[in-house]
Amino acid sequence: MSSADGSNAAKFSPDFQSILAAFGLAAPLKEASELRAGNINTTYRVELCDGGEFILQRINHHVFAQPERIMDNIERVTAHLKTRMSADGGDRERKVLSFLRAGDGMIHWDADGEPWRCYIFVGGATAYNTAVKDVHLLQTGRAFGDFQRCLADFPIDTLHETIAGFHDTPRRYRAFEDAAAADRVNRRRTVAREIEFIRSRSELCPCIVSQLESGALPRRVTHNDTKINNVLIDDATDEAICVIDLDTVMPGSSLYDFGDMIRFGANTAVEDEADLSKIELDMKKYQLFTQGFLERAHGFMPADELLQLPLGVRLMTYELVIRFLTDYLDGDRYFRVDNAEHNLTRTRAQIRLLEDIERKMDRMTAFIQAKVESFGACYPSGGDMECGQKRIS
Protein backbone atom coordinates (compact mmCIF):
# COMPACT_ATOMS: atom_id res chain seq x y z
CA MET A 1 0.00 0.00 0.00
CA SER A 2 1.21 3.52 -0.76
CA SER A 3 0.47 6.52 1.40
CA ALA A 4 -1.53 9.54 0.25
CA ASP A 5 1.65 11.37 -0.77
CA GLY A 6 2.98 8.43 -2.76
CA SER A 7 5.50 7.14 -0.20
CA ASN A 8 5.77 3.45 0.50
CA ALA A 9 4.03 2.35 3.71
CA ALA A 10 5.11 -1.30 3.56
CA LYS A 11 7.31 -0.83 6.62
CA PHE A 12 4.13 -0.93 8.69
CA SER A 13 1.11 -2.82 7.37
CA PRO A 14 -1.74 -2.75 9.86
CA ASP A 15 -4.51 -5.33 9.78
CA PHE A 16 -7.19 -2.77 8.99
CA GLN A 17 -10.08 -5.22 8.95
CA SER A 18 -9.30 -6.52 12.44
CA ILE A 19 -8.84 -3.02 13.85
CA LEU A 20 -12.09 -1.81 12.28
CA ALA A 21 -13.92 -4.86 13.61
CA ALA A 22 -12.69 -4.01 17.11
CA PHE A 23 -14.62 -0.75 16.80
CA GLY A 24 -17.77 -2.54 15.60
CA LEU A 25 -17.24 -1.93 11.86
CA ALA A 26 -17.86 -5.18 9.97
CA ALA A 27 -18.16 -3.95 6.37
CA PRO A 28 -15.25 -4.89 4.09
CA LEU A 29 -12.51 -2.34 3.57
CA LYS A 30 -12.66 -0.57 0.20
CA GLU A 31 -9.65 1.74 0.44
CA ALA A 32 -7.08 3.02 2.95
CA SER A 33 -4.62 5.86 2.49
CA GLU A 34 -2.06 7.27 4.88
CA LEU A 35 -2.29 10.95 5.79
CA ARG A 36 1.19 12.36 6.34
CA ALA A 37 0.44 15.79 7.85
CA GLY A 38 1.25 14.83 11.46
CA ASN A 39 4.68 14.16 12.92
CA ILE A 40 3.77 11.90 15.84
CA ASN A 41 0.87 9.52 15.23
CA THR A 42 0.26 7.35 12.15
CA THR A 43 -3.03 8.30 10.51
CA TYR A 44 -5.14 6.61 7.84
CA ARG A 45 -8.32 7.59 6.07
CA VAL A 46 -10.37 4.46 5.44
CA GLU A 47 -13.45 3.92 3.29
CA LEU A 48 -15.66 0.85 3.71
CA CYS A 49 -17.68 -0.89 1.03
CA ASP A 50 -20.90 0.29 2.68
CA GLY A 51 -19.86 3.93 2.15
CA GLY A 52 -18.69 4.63 5.69
CA GLU A 53 -15.58 6.80 6.03
CA PHE A 54 -13.41 6.93 9.13
CA ILE A 55 -10.04 8.06 10.44
CA LEU A 56 -7.86 5.39 12.05
CA GLN A 57 -4.92 6.52 14.13
CA ARG A 58 -2.13 4.54 15.74
CA ILE A 59 -1.11 6.51 18.83
CA ASN A 60 2.65 6.85 19.21
CA HIS A 61 3.10 5.34 22.66
CA HIS A 62 6.78 6.29 22.67
CA VAL A 63 5.77 9.97 22.76
CA PHE A 64 2.59 9.39 24.75
CA ALA A 65 3.60 6.78 27.29
CA GLN A 66 0.11 6.68 28.82
CA PRO A 67 -2.33 6.80 25.89
CA GLU A 68 -5.23 6.00 28.19
CA ARG A 69 -4.76 9.43 29.79
CA ILE A 70 -4.85 11.15 26.42
CA MET A 71 -8.03 9.34 25.48
CA ASP A 72 -9.63 10.07 28.85
CA ASN A 73 -8.94 13.78 28.28
CA ILE A 74 -10.32 13.60 24.75
CA GLU A 75 -13.45 11.75 25.85
CA ARG A 76 -14.20 14.30 28.57
CA VAL A 77 -13.49 17.34 26.39
CA THR A 78 -15.44 16.17 23.34
CA ALA A 79 -18.43 15.21 25.52
CA HIS A 80 -18.39 18.69 27.07
CA LEU A 81 -18.07 20.35 23.66
CA LYS A 82 -21.00 18.37 22.30
CA THR A 83 -23.16 19.38 25.24
CA ARG A 84 -22.30 23.03 24.65
CA MET A 85 -22.88 22.74 20.91
CA SER A 86 -26.31 21.23 21.50
CA ALA A 87 -27.19 24.08 23.87
CA ASP A 88 -26.01 26.63 21.28
CA GLY A 89 -27.96 24.95 18.49
CA GLY A 90 -24.86 23.86 16.56
CA ASP A 91 -24.33 20.67 14.56
CA ARG A 92 -22.43 18.77 17.19
CA GLU A 93 -21.77 15.75 14.96
CA ARG A 94 -19.93 17.96 12.48
CA LYS A 95 -18.37 20.47 14.86
CA VAL A 96 -16.90 17.97 17.34
CA LEU A 97 -14.94 14.80 16.59
CA SER A 98 -16.99 11.63 17.19
CA PHE A 99 -14.95 8.65 18.39
CA LEU A 100 -16.14 5.07 18.11
CA ARG A 101 -16.07 2.75 21.09
CA ALA A 102 -14.35 -0.60 21.07
CA GLY A 103 -15.94 -3.75 22.45
CA ASP A 104 -14.73 -2.99 25.96
CA GLY A 105 -16.45 0.40 25.91
CA MET A 106 -13.24 2.41 25.59
CA ILE A 107 -12.57 4.88 22.76
CA HIS A 108 -9.21 3.28 22.04
CA TRP A 109 -8.16 -0.29 21.41
CA ASP A 110 -4.86 -2.06 22.00
CA ALA A 111 -3.60 -4.26 19.15
CA ASP A 112 -0.55 -6.19 20.29
CA GLY A 113 0.79 -3.25 22.27
CA GLU A 114 -0.16 -0.65 19.67
CA PRO A 115 -3.01 1.66 20.78
CA TRP A 116 -5.52 2.64 18.08
CA ARG A 117 -8.50 4.97 17.91
CA CYS A 118 -11.18 5.51 15.29
CA TYR A 119 -13.39 8.51 14.60
CA ILE A 120 -15.91 9.49 11.95
CA PHE A 121 -14.40 11.24 8.93
CA VAL A 122 -15.75 14.78 8.49
CA GLY A 123 -16.44 15.16 4.79
CA GLY A 124 -16.58 18.34 2.74
CA ALA A 125 -13.87 20.01 4.80
CA THR A 126 -10.13 20.65 4.54
CA ALA A 127 -7.31 21.11 7.03
CA TYR A 128 -4.98 23.59 5.30
CA ASN A 129 -1.26 23.66 6.08
CA THR A 130 -1.25 27.37 5.25
CA ALA A 131 -4.12 29.80 4.77
CA VAL A 132 -5.30 29.82 1.15
CA LYS A 133 -7.60 32.77 1.82
CA ASP A 134 -7.55 35.56 4.38
CA VAL A 135 -10.87 34.33 5.73
CA HIS A 136 -9.18 31.09 6.80
CA LEU A 137 -7.11 32.97 9.38
CA LEU A 138 -10.18 34.80 10.65
CA GLN A 139 -12.05 31.51 10.89
CA THR A 140 -9.13 29.77 12.61
CA GLY A 141 -9.13 32.52 15.23
CA ARG A 142 -12.85 32.04 15.74
CA ALA A 143 -12.43 28.28 16.04
CA PHE A 144 -9.84 28.50 18.81
CA GLY A 145 -11.80 31.30 20.49
CA ASP A 146 -14.88 29.07 20.47
CA PHE A 147 -12.77 26.21 21.81
CA GLN A 148 -11.82 28.39 24.81
CA ARG A 149 -15.35 29.74 25.25
CA CYS A 150 -17.06 26.34 25.18
CA LEU A 151 -14.59 24.90 27.67
CA ALA A 152 -14.56 27.88 30.03
CA ASP A 153 -16.77 25.99 32.51
CA PHE A 154 -15.03 22.63 32.07
CA PRO A 155 -13.84 21.05 35.37
CA ILE A 156 -10.16 21.56 34.60
CA ASP A 157 -8.88 19.52 37.53
CA THR A 158 -10.27 16.38 35.86
CA LEU A 159 -7.74 16.69 33.02
CA HIS A 160 -4.46 14.80 32.93
CA GLU A 161 -1.20 16.55 32.08
CA THR A 162 -0.30 14.51 29.00
CA ILE A 163 3.23 15.98 28.63
CA ALA A 164 4.69 17.06 31.95
CA GLY A 165 6.01 20.62 32.02
CA PHE A 166 5.21 21.20 28.36
CA HIS A 167 5.24 25.00 28.69
CA ASP A 168 7.30 25.24 31.87
CA THR A 169 9.67 27.78 30.31
CA PRO A 170 11.94 28.06 33.38
CA ARG A 171 12.49 24.30 33.19
CA ARG A 172 13.17 24.59 29.45
CA TYR A 173 15.76 27.25 30.23
CA ARG A 174 17.47 25.06 32.82
CA ALA A 175 17.66 22.22 30.30
CA PHE A 176 19.27 24.63 27.84
CA GLU A 177 21.93 25.68 30.37
CA ASP A 178 22.59 22.03 31.19
CA ALA A 179 23.03 21.21 27.49
CA ALA A 180 25.36 24.19 27.01
CA ALA A 181 27.46 23.13 30.00
CA ALA A 182 27.65 19.49 28.91
CA ASP A 183 28.41 20.35 25.26
CA ARG A 184 28.15 16.65 24.50
CA VAL A 185 28.79 17.01 20.73
CA ASN A 186 31.25 19.92 20.84
CA ARG A 187 28.96 22.54 19.25
CA ARG A 188 28.89 25.26 21.91
CA ARG A 189 31.84 27.21 20.46
CA THR A 190 29.94 27.71 17.16
CA VAL A 191 26.78 29.21 18.72
CA ALA A 192 28.10 31.82 21.17
CA ARG A 193 25.81 34.54 19.75
CA GLU A 194 22.72 32.35 19.97
CA ILE A 195 23.53 31.37 23.56
CA GLU A 196 23.95 35.00 24.52
CA PHE A 197 20.65 35.87 22.83
CA ILE A 198 18.80 33.34 24.98
CA ARG A 199 20.54 34.42 28.18
CA SER A 200 19.81 38.10 27.53
CA ARG A 201 16.08 37.35 27.67
CA SER A 202 16.01 34.91 30.58
CA GLU A 203 13.71 37.22 32.59
CA LEU A 204 10.94 36.23 30.18
CA CYS A 205 10.89 32.61 31.37
CA PRO A 206 8.59 32.89 34.43
CA CYS A 207 6.23 35.54 33.04
CA ILE A 208 3.29 33.19 32.42
CA VAL A 209 4.12 30.33 34.81
CA SER A 210 4.36 32.70 37.79
CA GLN A 211 1.01 34.30 36.97
CA LEU A 212 -0.66 30.90 36.73
CA GLU A 213 0.81 29.92 40.08
CA SER A 214 -0.32 33.16 41.74
CA GLY A 215 -3.78 33.13 40.17
CA ALA A 216 -3.17 36.37 38.28
CA LEU A 217 -3.92 34.43 35.10
CA PRO A 218 -6.68 31.78 35.09
CA ARG A 219 -5.89 28.20 34.20
CA ARG A 220 -7.78 27.19 31.09
CA VAL A 221 -8.22 24.10 28.94
CA THR A 222 -5.61 24.59 26.24
CA HIS A 223 -5.11 22.81 22.93
CA ASN A 224 -1.32 23.31 22.79
CA ASP A 225 -0.99 22.79 19.03
CA THR A 226 -2.94 25.70 17.59
CA LYS A 227 -1.83 25.50 13.97
CA ILE A 228 -4.20 26.27 11.12
CA ASN A 229 -4.04 22.63 9.98
CA ASN A 230 -5.73 21.61 13.23
CA VAL A 231 -8.94 23.39 12.22
CA LEU A 232 -11.27 21.89 9.60
CA ILE A 233 -12.55 24.51 7.14
CA ASP A 234 -15.83 23.88 5.29
CA ASP A 235 -15.17 23.54 1.56
CA ALA A 236 -18.43 25.26 0.58
CA THR A 237 -18.63 28.12 3.09
CA ASP A 238 -14.99 28.65 4.18
CA GLU A 239 -16.23 28.57 7.78
CA ALA A 240 -14.37 26.75 10.53
CA ILE A 241 -16.10 23.51 11.46
CA CYS A 242 -14.16 22.00 14.32
CA VAL A 243 -10.83 21.80 16.10
CA ILE A 244 -8.95 18.52 15.66
CA ASP A 245 -5.81 16.81 17.05
CA LEU A 246 -6.64 16.88 20.74
CA ASP A 247 -3.73 14.81 22.06
CA THR A 248 -2.11 17.71 23.92
CA VAL A 249 -5.27 19.13 25.48
CA MET A 250 -4.45 19.87 29.12
CA PRO A 251 -4.50 22.67 31.70
CA GLY A 252 -2.59 25.81 30.74
CA SER A 253 -3.03 29.44 29.74
CA SER A 254 -4.88 31.04 26.85
CA LEU A 255 -1.65 32.93 26.17
CA TYR A 256 0.04 29.67 25.18
CA ASP A 257 -2.55 28.80 22.54
CA PHE A 258 -2.85 32.32 21.16
CA GLY A 259 0.91 32.79 21.11
CA ASP A 260 1.68 29.55 19.32
CA MET A 261 -0.92 30.18 16.62
CA ILE A 262 0.49 33.63 15.87
CA ARG A 263 4.09 32.42 16.05
CA PHE A 264 3.33 29.78 13.44
CA GLY A 265 0.47 31.26 11.43
CA ALA A 266 1.58 34.90 11.09
CA ASN A 267 5.18 34.08 10.24
CA THR A 268 6.00 35.10 6.65
CA ALA A 269 8.28 32.08 6.25
CA VAL A 270 8.49 28.43 7.22
CA GLU A 271 9.77 27.45 10.64
CA ASP A 272 13.17 26.37 9.29
CA GLU A 273 13.73 29.12 6.72
CA ALA A 274 17.46 29.61 6.11
CA ASP A 275 17.07 33.00 4.37
CA LEU A 276 16.50 35.24 7.38
CA SER A 277 15.50 38.18 5.17
CA LYS A 278 12.21 36.38 4.45
CA ILE A 279 11.18 36.21 8.11
CA GLU A 280 8.91 38.67 9.90
CA LEU A 281 5.61 38.82 11.74
CA ASP A 282 2.88 39.61 9.22
CA MET A 283 0.66 42.15 10.97
CA LYS A 284 -2.22 41.60 8.54
CA LYS A 285 -2.28 37.90 9.40
CA TYR A 286 -1.92 38.76 13.08
CA GLN A 287 -4.91 41.09 12.90
CA LEU A 288 -7.11 38.59 11.05
CA PHE A 289 -6.49 35.78 13.53
CA THR A 290 -6.78 38.13 16.52
CA GLN A 291 -10.02 39.62 15.22
CA GLY A 292 -11.57 36.14 14.99
CA PHE A 293 -10.24 35.06 18.37
CA LEU A 294 -11.46 38.19 20.16
CA GLU A 295 -14.92 37.95 18.61
CA ARG A 296 -15.36 34.69 20.49
CA ALA A 297 -13.22 35.30 23.58
CA HIS A 298 -14.03 38.84 24.69
CA GLY A 299 -17.26 37.93 26.45
CA PHE A 300 -15.72 35.67 29.08
CA MET A 301 -12.00 36.51 29.19
CA PRO A 302 -11.21 39.57 31.34
CA ALA A 303 -9.43 42.47 29.67
CA ASP A 304 -6.31 41.96 31.81
CA GLU A 305 -5.96 38.52 30.23
CA LEU A 306 -6.72 39.67 26.68
CA LEU A 307 -4.21 42.50 26.85
CA GLN A 308 -1.46 40.01 27.69
CA LEU A 309 -2.06 37.85 24.62
CA PRO A 310 0.96 39.39 22.81
CA LEU A 311 3.12 38.15 25.68
CA GLY A 312 2.12 34.66 24.62
CA VAL A 313 3.38 35.36 21.10
CA ARG A 314 6.71 36.55 22.43
CA LEU A 315 7.17 33.80 25.01
CA MET A 316 6.16 30.92 22.73
CA THR A 317 8.67 32.09 20.12
CA TYR A 318 11.38 32.48 22.76
CA GLU A 319 10.58 29.01 24.09
CA LEU A 320 11.08 27.53 20.59
CA VAL A 321 14.44 29.30 20.32
CA ILE A 322 15.42 27.62 23.60
CA ARG A 323 14.16 24.19 22.58
CA PHE A 324 15.77 24.18 19.13
CA LEU A 325 19.17 25.33 20.41
CA THR A 326 19.00 22.90 23.35
CA ASP A 327 18.46 20.02 20.95
CA TYR A 328 21.27 21.25 18.69
CA LEU A 329 23.68 21.37 21.64
CA ASP A 330 22.45 17.96 22.79
CA GLY A 331 23.08 16.24 19.45
CA ASP A 332 19.61 16.41 17.83
CA ARG A 333 17.97 13.80 20.01
CA TYR A 334 14.43 15.24 20.13
CA PHE A 335 13.40 17.01 16.92
CA ARG A 336 13.51 15.24 13.59
CA VAL A 337 16.31 16.76 11.49
CA ASP A 338 17.21 16.63 7.79
CA ASN A 339 20.84 17.59 8.26
CA ALA A 340 23.40 18.35 10.98
CA GLU A 341 22.57 22.09 10.97
CA HIS A 342 18.79 21.78 10.87
CA ASN A 343 18.15 22.66 14.51
CA LEU A 344 20.56 25.59 14.25
CA THR A 345 18.71 26.84 11.18
CA ARG A 346 15.46 26.60 13.13
CA THR A 347 17.02 28.45 16.06
CA ARG A 348 18.20 31.34 13.91
CA ALA A 349 14.86 31.57 12.12
CA GLN A 350 12.99 31.82 15.42
CA ILE A 351 15.48 34.40 16.72
CA ARG A 352 14.82 36.58 13.67
CA LEU A 353 11.06 36.17 14.16
CA LEU A 354 11.33 36.99 17.88
CA GLU A 355 13.28 40.17 17.15
CA ASP A 356 10.50 41.33 14.84
CA ILE A 357 7.83 40.37 17.38
CA GLU A 358 9.59 42.48 20.00
CA ARG A 359 9.57 45.47 17.64
CA LYS A 360 5.82 45.03 17.13
CA MET A 361 4.68 44.33 20.70
CA ASP A 362 3.16 47.78 21.14
CA ARG A 363 1.27 47.51 17.84
CA MET A 364 -0.03 44.07 18.72
CA THR A 365 -1.25 45.24 22.13
CA ALA A 366 -2.79 48.43 20.70
CA PHE A 367 -4.78 46.39 18.18
CA ILE A 368 -6.19 44.19 20.94
CA GLN A 369 -7.01 47.17 23.15
CA ALA A 370 -8.88 48.91 20.34
CA LYS A 371 -10.85 45.78 19.50
CA VAL A 372 -11.77 45.01 23.08
CA GLU A 373 -12.92 48.60 23.60
CA SER A 374 -14.99 48.37 20.42
CA PHE A 375 -16.73 45.31 21.86
CA GLY A 376 -17.68 47.40 24.89
CA ALA A 377 -15.67 45.37 27.37
CA CYS A 378 -14.93 46.93 30.73
CA TYR A 379 -11.30 46.78 31.79
CA PRO A 380 -10.75 45.40 35.30
CA SER A 381 -8.27 47.44 37.25
CA GLY A 382 -5.01 46.07 38.60
CA GLY A 383 -2.83 43.30 37.29
CA ASP A 384 0.87 43.50 36.59
CA MET A 385 1.46 43.34 32.86
CA GLU A 386 5.07 44.44 32.92
CA CYS A 387 6.34 41.26 31.30
CA GLY A 388 3.89 41.60 28.42
CA GLN A 389 4.57 45.27 27.81
CA LYS A 390 8.30 45.51 28.38
CA ARG A 391 10.41 46.03 25.28
CA ILE A 392 13.95 44.76 25.03
CA SER A 393 16.18 47.14 23.09
pLDDT tens digit sequence for 275-294 = 999 999 999 999 999 999 99
Which of 2-16, 117-131, 156-170 is predicted with the least confidence, judged by mean pLDDT?
Answer: 2-16
144 or 335: whose pLDDT is higher?
144
| CATH architecture group of domain 134-373 | Alpha-Beta Complex (3.90)
User: What does pLDDT average to over the chain?
Assistant: 88
The CATH class, in words, for 16-123 is alpha beta
Q: Name the pTM for this structure.
A: 0.86
Write a three-state SS string for the chain.
Answer: CECCCCCECCCCCCCHHHHHHHCCCCCCEEEEEEECCCCCCEEEEEEECCCCEEEEEECCCCCCCCHHHHHHHHHHHHHHHHHHHHHHCCCHHHHCCCECCCCCCCCCEEECCEEEEEEECCCCEECCCCCCCHHHHHHHHHHHHHHHHHCCCCCHHHCCCCCCCCCCHHHHHHHHHHHHHHCCCCCHHHCHHHHHHHHHCHHHCCCCHHHHHHCCCCCEEECCCCCHHHEEEECCCCCEEEECCCCCCEEECHHHHHHHHHHHHCECCCCCCCCHHHCCECHHHHHHHHHHHHHHHCCCCCHHHHCCHHHHHHHHHHHHHHHHHHHHHCCCCCCCCCCCCHHHHHHHHHHHHHHHHHHCHHHHHHHHHHHHHHCCCCCCCCCCCHHHHCCCC
Model confidence pLDDT, tens digit, residues 188-243: 999 999 999 999 999 999 999 999 999 999 999 999 999 999 999 999 999 999 99
* Mean pLDDT value of segment 303-308: 94
85 or 328: whose pLDDT is higher?
328
393 or 369: whose pLDDT is higher?
369
Sequence ranges of the domains in the chain: 16-123, 134-373
* Mean pLDDT value of segment 332-356: 95
pLDDT on residue 37: 65
Model confidence pLDDT, tens digit, residues 348-378: 999 999 999 999 999 999 999 999 888 764 4
Residue 59's pLDDT band (cuts 50, 70, 90): confident
